[in-house]
Amino acid sequence: MREFDHFLAIDWSGAKGERHRGIALAIADGKGGPPVLVEPPTGGWSRLEVMELLRDELPVNTLVGADLGISLPFNDCGAFFPGWEDSPRNAKALWKLVDEICADDPYLGANSFLDHPEARRFFRHGKGDEGDRFHLPQAISRAGRFREAEIAQWRQKCRPVSNFNLVGAAQVGKSSLTGMRMLHQLTGHLPVWPMDKVPEKRIKGGGSMLVEIYTGLASREAADMGARTKFLTYADLNDALEALGSPPVDRWGEVDDHSSDALLTAAWLRKAASEDERWEPRCLTAEIAWTEGWTFGAF
């Protein structure tokens, strides 16, 4: 696998509103050194500011890891939304559909998609408020439908949540839909693996690309090497960074979840990107790549 010069991890948020304390960015230099937080604007990052950074200010030859689902389950049913005539045939068409339906939602919001009379049938919106198509016969559990990449995460002792689930602290459905709007608007500016091939390092734009990451996978791998899975202090975080072979962060005291996830995952991404097997997961077919995508690092 070719080398990248920078590794940017994004802890994303699908929450309502313009600015979000739940968005954190951290970058690791390919030459080494500790990961570094990218300082947010006053009040926290907005999703639009993150998108503009990726489009206009990204350092050349950067591998971007975004903690969001880049697609929805497709392989289990042969469709994202079985029975809906407008169900897209691939992930990029899904991004386009979400962005078009939500065109009037500010700040890359996705509420209009969740309110759509057909789309809303497939999501769990709240306790006791499940769409009539959330539990399709093909769902592998009461937890809903899963992509092949998420099934691979289960094999790696992680606990992913269905992207059709919008309930609970661990849900990623809202962040995934808002992320799809961003990905659609970045089309032509930033390739996305595995839908797009890995660009050459010296092409115009510097050879950068984006992959889906799961911060839980990074913390699980650090835990397998003797670290904790949650980092409430910089001391805990530095133990996990050491387990991944990264120098420590020169900070002390408490650290919030979003900052620690971004810092750890930037260091993990730098390590994992050099491992060829991460780019060739055994269950990733061309069809799955084009429809469901994949979580980088999942085997």
**pLDDT tens per residue across all 299 residues of the chain:** 789 999 999 999 999 999 999 999 999 999 999 999 999 999 999 999 999 999 999 999 999 999 999 999 999 999 999 999 999 999 999 999 999 999 999 999 999 999 999 999 999 998 889 999 998 876 666 789 999 999 999 998 888 999 999 998 888 999 999 999 999 999 999 999 999 999 987 665 579 999 999 999 999 899 888 777 778 899 999 999 999 999 999 999 999 999 999 999 999 999 999 999 999 999 999 999 999 999 999 98
Structure tokens at 203: 């092409």
Note the pTM of the prediction, 2 decimals: 0.96
User: Nearest to residue 67, comparing CAs of 264, 256, 206?
Assistant: 264
The radius of gyration of the chain from alpha carbons, rounded to an integer in Å, stands at 18
Q: Where are the domains of the chain?
A: 6-70+183-279
